Amino acid sequence: MKNFITVVLIVLVPVLVFSQDTIFRKVNNVSFKTGEHFEYELNYGFITGGYAILEVKSDKEFINGRRCYLAEVNISTTPSFDYIYRFRQIYKCYLDYEGIFPWLIEQDKNENGNITKLKVQFDNVNNKVLRNENGKETEFDIIKYTLDDIGVYYYSRTIDFSSKNPGETVELPYLTKDKSKVFKMKYTGKETVEVPAGEFRCIVIEPLLREAALASKVDNIVIWITDDDNKMPVLLKMDIIIGSVTAELKNFWGLSAPLKSKVD
């Protein structure tokens, strides 16, 4: 029994000390909750090349003693598009419930037969990352509250753009393969757009990825999010070397707030 208690203390004490002594930011989130489900069509020109599902699957996961959201993205190309370019990806991110920053990401990707298994652990006390890609580990320093792709997606929805003027920017720390950098997100104004899920009044934002040298193959990215508390992304456009790719909202449910931006 004594040995058992000793083992339990060895395991639990670091977690308890970590949880009690470290103070993290708190973000006011009214934009998403567990059960939120978005479905997108991925189009290349007039061709539907794939689908993406984004879900907040839970808010009762715990990493390092911290309560987390489990957000998951599932992307696949259509059977007809598989002949040209086959892509499958399941991407999971454990986001701090209070601070909306990542503790852990896990990714399984099949890109034309090239398999990638990725696990990234965030040490948000010492601002470090341990990255394991197909068994190869690397560790490096990061900026405090660095965000991965999913983290940027969800954290940006908590930003209040209502007090900003067109052209104003916010800065976000972003994780690249071997470092973190700061990039800017620009608010460009408001527009009404129509997608398969309906017509919506939107806020338009533009991640300035090229400015941060994070997206060498992307010339421009523009995102339309609903002009209400949900800040639901309904349309994304990316200009690439050989054309334009769009993600259009097809179906949704499980919103956190009333949908006031939909045009009847």
pLDDT per residue as tens, the chain (264 positions): 444 333 333 333 344 334 446 899 999 999 999 999 999 999 988 889 999 999 999 999 999 999 999 999 999 999 988 888 899 999 999 999 999 999 999 999 999 999 999 999 999 999 999 999 999 999 999 999 999 999 999 999 999 988 899 999 999 999 988 889 998 999 999 999 999 999 999 999 998 865 443 344 556 889 999 999 999 999 999 877 666 889 999 999 999 999 999 998
Residue boundaries of the structural domains of the chain: 17-249
Helices (H) and strands (E) in the chain, counts: 2, 14
Helix (H, G, I), strand (E, B) or coil at 260: coil
Distance CA 200, CA 132 (A): 40
pLDDT at 218: 55
Position 238 scores a pLDDT of: 86
Handedness of CA 59, 37, 30, 28 (dihedral sign): positive
Q: How far apart are CA 69 and CA 59, in angstroms?
A: 4
Q: For position 216, what pLDDT does the model report?
A: 44
Nearest to 158 by CA among 136, 176, 185: 185
Q: How far apart are CA 43 and CA 46, in angstroms?
A: 7
pLDDT of 55: 97
The burial of 199, by beta-carbon neighbours within 10 Å (0-12 exposed, 13-18 middle, 19 or more buried), is given as middle
Alpha-carbon gap, residue 5 to 3, rounded angstroms: 5
pLDDT at 219: 61
Per-residue pLDDT, 43: 93
Q: Sign of the C-alpha dihedral, residues 30, 36, 41, 43? A: positive
Q: Which CATH number fits domain 17-249: 2.20.130, 2.40.360, 1.10.3470, 2.60.40?
A: 2.40.360
Give residue 239's pLDDT. Answer: 79
Q: Please list the helix, strand and coil fractions of the chain in percent, rounded to the nearest 5, in that order.
A: 15, 55, 30
